Amino acid sequence: LEPAPADSGITFCRTDLPPPNRITSHAAAVGDTQMASTLSSGAVRVATVEHLMSALSGLGVDNVLVGVNAAEIPIMDGSAASFVYLIHSAGIAEQDQPKRFVEVTAPIEVRDGEKYARLEPYFGFRLSFSIDFQHPAIDQTGQKVELDFAQTSFLDEIARARTFGFMRDVDHLRAKGLAQGGSLRNAIVMDERRILNKGGLRQTNEFAMHKALDAIGDLYLLGRPLLAHYSAYKSGHALNNQLLRALSQQTNAWRERVFDRLSDAPAAWARQWSWQ
C-alpha cells in the first residue's frame, strides 16, 4: 500500500504485468462476482478485493495505491484485521481536500428471487444484514446483524470476523484460481455438521458479521463512503454490485455531500477522523 494524491481514489496496480496495469476501484470495474469481488480492465484482473476494501472503508482511507504481484489479494487470516493492523502501523494522513460522500436521497433496491439488497436515506451509515444458511453450526450463532456505525466500532466488532466455507466447495474454488492459500489458518471451515477449526469461532456471530464485513467492502467499491441505510437478505457480491450500479445510474437517488467541519459530519464517519 502506497500513499496516493487527494481525490485519486483507490487504485490497484498489477506489478507483475506491463502497463497499462492499473484499475481504479469503482462499481463499473467489477467483473466476476462468484465467491469474491473481482476488478477487471482488459487483461488486468485483481480478485478478492473485498476484505482490503472493507478495512479501507472502516479506517476512512479515501486514496491509496495498492500494488499486487498476482491476480488475487492475499487472504491473510481470512478477515480484515491484518490489513487494519498494518494500515494503523503505517499511519493515516489527512489530505488537503474535503472528504466526499455519496448521500442516498431516495430508496433503491435490487432483487434476485427472495434475495435483496436495498439502500435508503440515512444520515450516517447503518447496516442490517440477514443470512440463511441451513447448517447446524450457523443456526446456533444467529443469522442477523444490525449495525449503526455511530455506535459500532469496525475495529472491535467487525474487522476480525473471518471468511467461512464448506469442504465441498474447496475444489471448485481452487479450480477457478481462488483460495489458493486457503486453509484452517485463514477461514472457518465446515463439513456437513460442524466447524472443523480447533479454536472454534472468534465471536458468537462471526458468520453473519463476516457477511457484513464483505458488504462493507463491496459497497466501498462505489469509490466514496456512503451516507445510507443498507439492508439485505442473503445478498452477496453479485447483488451488492448490482445495487451500486443501479444507484450510479439513478442520479436522482443520490447526491455528493461534503463536510468541511468535523462537527457537521455524521457520527458514523466523524469517529474515523479521530483515529488519524
pLDDT in tens, 206-228: 988 999 999 999 999 999 999 99
How far apart are alpha carbons 114 and 233 in whole angstroms? 8
Gap between the Cα atoms of 69 and 34, Å rounded = 22
**pLDDT tens column, 19-77:** 999 999 999 999 999 889 999 999 899 999 999 999 999 999 999 999 999 999 999 99
Q: What residues contact residue 150 under an 8 Å CB cut-off, 6+ apart? A: 124, 266, 267, 268, 271
CA atoms within 13 A on the CB side of 67: 9
Q: For residues 112 and 65, give the distance between their C-alpha atoms in angstroms, rounded to a whole number.
A: 34
Question: CB-based contacts of 157: which residues, under 8 Å, 6+ apart?
Answer: 147, 203, 209
Q: Using CA atoms, how far apart are residues 76 and 97, in angstroms rounded to an integer?
A: 32
3.40.630.30, 3.40.50.2300, 3.30.1700.10, 3.40.640.10: which CATH number matches 2-275? 3.30.1700.10
Active site residues: 237
pLDDT tens for 241-263 read: 999 999 999 999 999 999 877 77
Entry pTM: 0.91
